[in-house]
Structure formats: C-alpha cells, structure tokens
Structure 1
Amino acid sequence: MIRVGFIWFLFLLSLLTVFKAPVYYLWLVSIVVTEFPWIFIVVTLFLLVWGIGVNKYQVAGAVPGLIALVLFCTPVARAYNVASSLKPKFEAVFGAGTTTPKARMLKEPFRFFKMLAGIGERLAVFTTLTYKASNNLTLDYYKTTGNKKKPCIIVIHGGSWSSGNSRQLPELNTHLIKMGYNIAAINYRLAPKYQSPAAVEDVRDAIIYLKNHSEALLIDTNNFVLLGRSAGGQIALEAAYTLKTTGIKAVISYYAPADMVWGYSVPANPLVLDSRKVMEDYLGGTYNSVPQHYAASSPILAVNKNSVPTLLIHGENDVLVAYEHSRRLDAKLQQLGVKHFLLTLPWATHGCDYTLNGPSGQLATYTVDRFINQVTK
C-alpha cells in the first residue's frame, strides 16, 4: 500500500511536466520535476520493479506508475528534439562561427548523463566594486584569465523589480569566465521605492564605470553584452534598445516581460503571482493611471531596425511571465529585420535555468555560448 501511495504521488508530480503549475509552491516544484527528471525516472522505475510479483494493488500501482514514467521522460525526449535542430537553426541566423579554441569548447546542445553532474560549475572568485556611490550600488566582478582585454557580460538579476541581488544564479557567471569573458553582475535600485527607469539608468552608470576602469579590469569597451533574467531581462532589453551608450553589442533575455502593456491586460494566475501589483509597484500605478509608463518600459515598443542582436530564451509552461512575451518580441524583431534567435523550451517554466545541467540549462547555456561567441568576435 505504501508503494502504491508513493506511485500515485509521483503520478501527480509528473503532471507538472506537461501542465502549468496552478499555485506558487507547485511552480517551485515544477522546476525540480522538469530540470531534474532523471531523479524521478529512477525512483519511479524502482517502485515499478518493486511491484513485480506483488499481486495486491498491482494494477493500481502499475498503471499510474507507467504513466508517470512516460511523463517524467518527456523533458528529456523534448530536449533531444530541440537539440537536434538547434545548431542548424542558430547557424542559419548567426553563421557557423569560428575555429578558435573558445568556439571548439562548444559541445553538443544536450547530453543525458550531464544531468547527473549537479547544478553547475564550482563558483569562481569575484571582487565587489561600488559603481554608484550616491546610491551605494555595487557589482560583483568576475575576471577571466589572461592579460588582454576581453568582452564583458553585464548580468542583471531578476526578482519582480523589487528583490533579488547580484549573487543570484552565479553558476552561469563561472561558466562564462571559463569561456573567456569578464562578468559584471550588478545590483540596481529596487521598486517600489525606485521606479522605472531607475534600473535602466543604473545599467547605464554601470557601463560608464566599467569603461572608466577598463584598463585595470581588462575590459574591451567595444564588447558589452547585457544579460538579464525575468525582470532583469526586461531591464536588459530596455537598456539595450534605448541607451545611447556605445559598446553594447547584444542582449540576452531569459523569460522576460517584453510587452508591459499586453502583460498588464493578461495577468498571471494570481495564485502564482500578483503580476499586476508587481507592475504597478515598478511603474508607479495602474495602466489606466500611467499608460505612458507602461509604453515607455516595453522593449517591444522601443526596438527598431538598428537595435542590437538579441537572444530570447523562454519556456512555454512559464506561469510567471507568459511565453507570449518572447513570441511577440520575436515577431517584432523578425518584422524589423533585427538579427535574433528565440530558444523555445516546450516543457520549461520560469527559472528553468536554475541548474545549468538540466534539460533547459544545457540548451540555454549552449545557445548563450554560441551567441556571445558570434556577437563579440
């Protein structure tokens, strides 16, 4: 009976691989289920094998167990499906790349056994620097090896514009310095005390600081790439499309709100996130009271035919920021002829890159590597 109870529990969890999480805590669970699927595959297999030869409750355990096993395998199967066409699709837009040692490090987009390697890279050492003394804003600077100036990736954290910090999901920072890039993970002014466009202004000031200290930090000031997750992705996109600062070569957005006007009209499930309240705190009121703020902070309205190359990464099962945001921006970029790539992850939810070695993490990191290698050469 205990075995059957566990199997039914796993069956219910397996539904998160194909259906969107209905409440906040199940969203968190869905990240684990879809990005660590091998754990659930192994446990389900063990319980099914355990049930062989057990007559009591055999059907009650076998049927849901087999369905759960199939569903737990779907993120892996779909990751292989995305990986099979990822390289040619990317190269159709950005080319095959170079034969430099850095380029040769870019391996296959997805490998099953890499999922067993943990969350990601062992964290690198960084130095905390104050880039804006007036607001006591700091950045964590990760310097790559060598004595030559290298491109700098500016990482902008998520957190609904009101929380989070520069230490969020640092494994990618470590990976990127191994690929030969400097990393500046920044803190910025948070809502509701500070509202848009304060965070974008902070990105501008961080770039100014990094340029002014480029000799000591060994930064190639003609090669800045903005990278943001969630709310940080919106800030990165807006900064890349509106700042007149020279040296911004490209922007990378992980599951970011790109159309604030549309996003307010179609809010997230309130049992997961009160997205309208989040936007009101960041933009200073409802859409009816300050529509100009929503328009001004929408990357989809700021982008133009001269905008920098863009990489969008988004899961179709995102319950915090709808996949439709990236789909709409993808269509606008296509219309304008801006070089860009949308990596769609059909099984993935918000925060899907929590582990670099999960299905989403592997595919996203591979694409980020290829993208940065192309835009900074």
Structure 2
Amino acid sequence: MIRLGLSIASLLLSLLSVFNAPTYHTWLLAVMVSEFPLIFMGIALVLILMSSITERFKTAGTVISVLAFVLFSTPVARALLIADNLEIELNQALKGNHVSASGHPAFSFWKLATRGNSDARYDTLRYAENGGAAGTMDFYPADSAGLRPCIVVVHGGSWSSGDSGQLPELNTHLANHGYHVASVNYHKAPEWQSPKPLEDVGQALLFLKAESERLKIDTSRLVILGRSAGAQIALLAAYQNTVPGLKGVISFYGPADMIWGYSKPASRWVMDSRHVMENYLGGTYKQVPERYSSASPIEHVSADSPPTLLIHGRNDVLVAYEHSTRLAAKLEANGVPHYLLTLPWATHGFDYTLNGPGGQLSTFTVDTFLRKILK
C-alpha cells in the first residue's frame, strides 16, 4: 500500500511537467520537476521496479509509475524536438544577421547530469554616488583581451526584491565566452516606483560608457538583458530611449503589456500580481492609467527598436506567456528583427539551472542571438 501511495504521489508530481502549477509552492516544485528531470525520472524508475516485485496492487502500481516516468521525461523529449531546428529558426527570424553554425548542440541529454558553474570573478562597482546599495553593480570582466561587448543584466523580483547576485550562472557563462557582464542593482518598490528603476539602468549605462576605457568595454556593442520584472525595465530602456551602441535586448519571461497584465492577473493562489503592479506603479489602473501605459514596453515599440530576443515558458504562472506573444506580434508589425523561444513545459524561473532542458535551450539561444547581433 505504501508503494502504491508513493506511485500516486509521483504521478501527481509529474503533472507539473505538463500543467500549470495551481499554487505558489507547487510553482517552486514545477521548476524542480521540469528542469531537473533526471532526478524524478530516476525516482519513477525505482517505483516501477518496486511495484513489479510486490504482490498487492502490482499492476496498478506499475502502470501509475510508468505514466509518471513518461510525464517526467516530456521536458527532455520536447527539448530535443525544439533543438533540431532552433538555429535555423534563429537565422530566419533575425533577417540579415546570418552567421555560421555554433559547432555545439542546442541540447544535450548528458548535460542534464552535470553541475553549472557560477564561480566567475566579479567586482562590485558603484555607478551612482547617492544610490546606496541600489547604486551598485556586479561587473564580470570578459575572459578575452581587448575591447569587448558588454551585457547589462537587470534582475527580477517583482520590482520589490532580488539583487545583482540573482542567478549568476548565466553571467559566468557569458564572461567565459568573451562578454563583459554588468549586473545592476536598482531602487525597489514600494518605496521607489516607476520610472526610478529605469532611470537607474540609464545611469548605469552612462557609468559604463564613462568608464569604458578602464573597463575595456566596446561601447558600440551593448545589450540589455532582463528577467521577469527586470525584463520589463530592460525592454523599456531599449524601446523608450535611444541608447547609442545598443545592439539588442533580451527578455526572460518579462511583463510587456502592463495594461493587459492588470486585466488578466495571475492566480491569487500563486501571486497577487495586481498588488505587485500597484506597488510599482503607484495605484490601480483606474487611478493611474497613464503610468500603466508608459510602463508598458509594448507601447513603445517602433521600427527603430533594436533586435529583440524573447524567452518564455507556456506554463508560466507568474507572468503569462501571452505577454511575450503580444510583444512579438507588435515587433513583427513594426518590422523589428526578433525571435520568441517558446518552452512548452517551462514555468517562471526555469533558468534556475543552465543545464536543465529550458536552461540549455535558452542559453544556446542567447549565445546565438549575441553572436548574430554583435558580429
């Protein structure tokens, strides 16, 4: 009976590989289930073996455990399918930016069993004298000599939490591939509201340009990358103002349409997204509609907007996948080179590890995008 109970629990857990998480804590579980599939596939295999040798509920336990194993493996199977045509699709989407093949696969099954690297050296620099902790950045120097491009990273955290040390694996990866990385802190809600974080990122860019000779930055090759709330800031920085030398912007599951997002909030069992937006924008949509409009990247897209990479999971329960599809449609209508990497199984924060199915595909896509726009 215990074995059957474990098999049923495993099956319920495996459903998070396919369906949206219903609560905050199951969302956290969904990140683990979808991005560390080998662990859960191994558990299901053990339960299959245990069920096959027991006398009671043998057939039921085996069938349930096999179904759980299949569901646990779906992120891997889907990642393999996406990887087959990923580089071809990127070349087609980013018109006029064709580059040669990368030489390594977009997804490797064996890489799922390896550990990511977040041990790169960085220096904490102050970009604003009166900004306190919010006026600092973590600067990861490129491992290549000479002037190098710089990727400015804006962290997530519902505009009210998080810091420059968030998810450092990608920063390390990019530094090891010849890019400077500046991971920026900014002022947070509710004490500070929009557009203060955007102003902070603008000030950080000015600092990097002023210190470009010392830091060995090629100011003609800049890219802004943001996650979640940080992606909203990054997209605004790229679309709202002309940034000399900005070659592209990358959004990981960012809210692109604040007006639509307020009308279609996340489940309150997961996150009170309306309250989060009100803290950041200073009121409800009815109270300050102009702030929702001005803070919506989709409202600032034009034919002059820089090439854009959007990365989003269909099972995102914090920032709806439709934010990225709506922005992609606006970019398409304005003739802006862009690509939307859709991860059918992935939820918010899937890039917690770069070696999971979503982490591998997104890292490959970021690498390819940067090679194309910075060549």
Q: Does 1:127 find its partner at 2:127?
A: no
**Residue of structure 1 aligned with 2:360, choices 347, 359, 362:** 362
Structure 1 residue identity aligned to 2:114: A
**TM-score normalised by the chain length of structure 2:** 0.97
Tell me the equivalent position of 1:340. 338
Relative distance call for 1:96 and 1:224 in structure 2 (3 A) is closer
The CA distance in 1 between the partners of 2:160 and 2:207, in whole Å, is 24
Correspondence 1:325-336 to 2 at 5 A: 325-336=323-334
Give, in angstroms, the shift of residue 122 of structure 1.
3.9
Secondary structure in structure 2 of the residue aligned to 1:301: helix
Most deviating of 14-23 and 43-52: 43-52
Tell me the equivalent position of 1:4. 4
Give, in angstroms, the shift of residue 244 of structure 1.
2.5
The CA distance in 2 between the partners of 1:87 and 1:145, in whole Å, is 25
Tell me the equivalent position of 2:73. 73
The CA distance in 1 between the partners of 2:246 and 2:228, in whole Å, is 20
Tell me the equivalent position of 2:112. 115
Give, in angstroms, the shift of residue 60 of structure 1.
2.8
Relative distance call for 1:66 and 1:248 in structure 2 (3 A) is same
Give, in angstroms, the shift of residue 146 of structure 1.
3.4
The CA distance in 1 between the partners of 2:119 and 2:91, in whole Å, is 31
**Residue of structure 2 aligned with 1:371, choices 355, 363, 369:** 369
Tell me the equivalent position of 1:168. 166
Relative distance call for 1:203 and 1:112 in structure 2 (3 A) is same
Structure 1 residue identity aligned to 2:368: R
Tell me the equivalent position of 1:56. 56
Give, in angstroms, the shift of residue 97 of structure 1.
4.5
The CA distance in 1 between the partners of 2:333 and 2:236, in whole Å, is 18
Give, in angstroms, the shift of residue 147 of structure 1.
3.1
Secondary structure in structure 2 of the residue aligned to 1:129: strand
**Residue of structure 1 aligned with 2:192, choices 191, 194, 202:** 194
Secondary structure in structure 2 of the residue aligned to 1:226: strand
Give, in angstroms, the shift of residue 7 of structure 1.
1.1
Tell me the equivalent position of 1:316. 314
Structure 1 residue identity aligned to 2:15: L
The CA distance in 1 between the partners of 2:231 and 2:104, in whole Å, is 26
Tell me the equivalent position of 1:351. 349
Tell me the equivalent position of 2:20. 20
Give, in angstroms, the shift of residue 216 of structure 1.
0.7
Secondary structure in structure 1 of the residue aligned to 2:142: coil
Secondary structure in structure 2 of the residue aligned to 1:140: strand
Secondary structure in structure 2 of the residue aligned to 1:51: helix
Segments of structure 1 that go 5 or more residues without pairing to the other structure are none
- Root-mean-square deviation (CA, aligned residues, Å) is 1.2
Q: Does 1:43 find its partner at 2:39?
A: no
**Residue of structure 1 aligned with 2:291, choices 278, 290, 293:** 293
Whether contact under 8 Å (1:251, 1:308) holds in the other structure is yes
Structure 2 residue identity aligned to 1:39: I
Structure 1 residue identity aligned to 2:130: S
Structure 2 residue identity aligned to 1:31: V
Give, in angstroms, the shift of residue 42 of structure 1.
1.1
Give, in angstroms, the shift of residue 98 of structure 1.
4.0
Give, in angstroms, the shift of residue 87 of structure 1.
1.4
Whether contact under 8 Å (1:204, 1:243) holds in the other structure is no
Tell me the equivalent position of 1:252. 250
Tell me the equivalent position of 1:239. 237
Tell me the equivalent position of 2:201. 203
Give, in angstroms, the shift of residue 298 of structure 1.
0.4
Structure 1 residue identity aligned to 2:174: L
Structure 2 residue identity aligned to 1:220: D
Secondary structure in structure 1 of the residue aligned to 2:130: helix
Segments of structure 2 that go 5 or more residues without pairing to the other structure are none
Deviations along 1:37-86, one digit per CA (max 9) or x if unpaired, are: 11111111111112223221112311211111111111111111111121
Structure 1 residue identity aligned to 2:338: H
Most deviating of 152-161 and 78-87: 78-87
The CA distance in 2 between the partners of 1:109 and 1:234, in whole Å, is 27
The CA distance in 1 between the partners of 2:349 and 2:144, in whole Å, is 32
Give, in angstroms, the shift of residue 179 of structure 1.
1.0
The CA distance in 1 between the partners of 2:29 and 2:53, in whole Å, is 32
Whether contact under 8 Å (1:97, 1:373) holds in the other structure is no
Tell me the equivalent position of 1:34. 34
**Residue of structure 1 aligned with 2:180, choices 182, 200, 221:** 182
Whether contact under 8 Å (2:313, 2:343) holds in the other structure is yes
Structure 2 residue identity aligned to 1:260: M
**Residue of structure 2 aligned with 1:151, choices 149, 152, 162:** 149
The CA distance in 2 between the partners of 1:208 and 1:278, in whole Å, is 29
The CA distance in 2 between the partners of 1:52 and 1:227, in whole Å, is 49
